[in-house]
Amino acid sequence: MATEASPHAVRGFAIEAASRDAVARRPNQLLRNLNAKIAAIPMILTAVFVFFGGTIWTIVYSFTDSKLLPRLKWVGFDQYERLWEQNRWIISIENILIYGALSLVFSLVIGFVLAALMDQKIRFENTFRTIFLYPFALSFIVTGLVWQWILNPEYGIQSVVRSLGWTSFAFDPLYDQDIVIYGILIAGLWQGTGLVMCLMLAGLRGIDEDIWKAARVDGIPMWKTYLLIIIPMMRPVFITTLVLIASGIVRLYDLVVAQTSGGPGIASEVPAKYVYDKMFLGQNLAQGFAASTMMLLSVLVVLIPWAYLEFGGRRRNV
């Protein structure tokens, strides 16, 4: 007779016991934590009817020819065909990809570097933190307007530098069709990096002192410590920050409206602005729905594989 029960046998016995208990406990399972469940009902209803229901409604109506008011006249994929023939939509997609990629990379890098610098037990840390976080308190409209003035060739940076002596200095990205999206990127980074910095700082503060000491004792250079030890440990913080930055990218609308109104020409158009303009200015709801369904699709294309890797993987290891 084996002195140790094999793991399989133990597991099988435990499962049997658990299911017997489950049968016995099932009536109480539902009523357990009842207060919390009741408190969650409004949010569940909102999530189901407003978010989920609204999304399904939008997708369904994107296959109709609704103009100012929604109506159920099916036209199949016509709205999507028209959408992808629009030069303005193609430019919007290009712009959001450029803005998204650069915003993500620079936000994370600058945010993390600032947080690492702030973590060095400096004086006036609170002051610096306030200064860096302050732009986040401004709305995108204010940010857009401020940066429109700063980047204005007659009143902003260009004229200041010229008045200091460099008379041939030229810096007016907002009037150049090829680089206007970078002008918007500057404003967006200025506004959002503060929050990334604060989140990273919180994450860094959560790292145990002993890790730092051990790394120092082992003689690992500082940059390697950060790159190979600290950052992997801060994975949850990075994921949270990523989600926040990504939602800010997809939502990009009011910054563009305030800073350039989509100009010059249609060089700084973004998908959210296309959706709004088609739905309300063009009185063509279905076209706007088609565009927003495409935006949702692109988010899902990124989200679903990640969710599978994140949560599906664990089940496979069990």
Partner 1 sequence: MRYTLRTAAFAASVAFFSGPAMSTDLEVTHWWTSGGEAAAVAELAKAFDASGDKWIDGAIAGSGGTARPIMISRITGGDPMGATQFNHGRQAEELVQAGLMQDLTEIATKEKWAELVHPKSLLDSCTFEGKIYCVPVNIHSWQWIWLSHKAFADAGVPVPTNWDEFVAAAPALEKAGKIPLAMGNQPWQSSGAFGVIAIAIGGIDAWKAVNIDKNAEVAGGPEYAKVFKAAADARAFRKNSNVQDWNQATNLVITGAAGGQIMGDWAQGEFQVAGQVAGKDYSCLPGLGVNKLISTGGDAFYFPKLNDPEKTAAQMRLASLMLSKEVQVNFNLKKGSLPVRGDVDLAAANDCMKQGLEILASGNILPDGNQTLSPDTQGQIEDLMTEFWSSDAISAEDAQKKYAEIIAAAD
- Residues near partner 1 (CB under 8 A) are 67-69, 82, 85-88, 175, 177, 261, 263-267, 277-278, 280-284, 287
CB nearer partner 1, residue 58 or residue 278: 278
We find the least distance from the C-beta atom of residue 61 to partner 1, in angstroms, to be: 15
CB nearer partner 1, residue 195 or residue 256: 256
Q: Is 278 helix (H, G, I), strand (E, B) or coil?
A: helix
Q: Is residue 114 within 8 Å of 291, Cβ to Cβ?
A: no
Q: How far apart are the C-alpha atoms of 176 and 258, rounded to whole Å? A: 17
Classify the C-alpha dihedral 68-90-54-76 as positive or negative. Answer: positive
Q: How far apart are the C-alpha atoms of 147 and 164, rounded to whole Å? A: 21
We find the least distance from the C-beta atom of residue 109 to partner 1, in angstroms, to be: 33
CB nearer partner 1, residue 142 or residue 229: 142
Q: How far apart are the C-alpha atoms of 193 and 185, rounded to whole Å? A: 11
CB nearer partner 1, residue 66 or residue 107: 66
Tell me how far the alpha carbon of residue 171 is from its chain's centroid.
29
Q: Please, is 78 exposed, middle or buried when counting C-beta atoms within 10 Å of its C-beta (0-12, 13-18, 19+)? A: middle
We find the least distance from the C-beta atom of residue 52 to partner 1, in angstroms, to be: 23
We find the least distance from the C-beta atom of residue 207 to partner 1, in angstroms, to be: 50
Which two three-digit tokens encode residue 188? Answer: 């967006």
Q: Is 74 helix (H, G, I), strand (E, B) or coil?
A: strand
CB nearer partner 1, residue 82 or residue 162: 82
We find the least distance from the C-beta atom of residue 249 to partner 1, in angstroms, to be: 23
We find the least distance from the C-beta atom of residue 263 to partner 1, in angstroms, to be: 6
Buried (b) or exposed (e) across 264-285, using 16+ Cβ within 10 A? eebbbbbbbbbbbbbbeeeebb
CB nearer partner 1, residue 199 or residue 275: 275
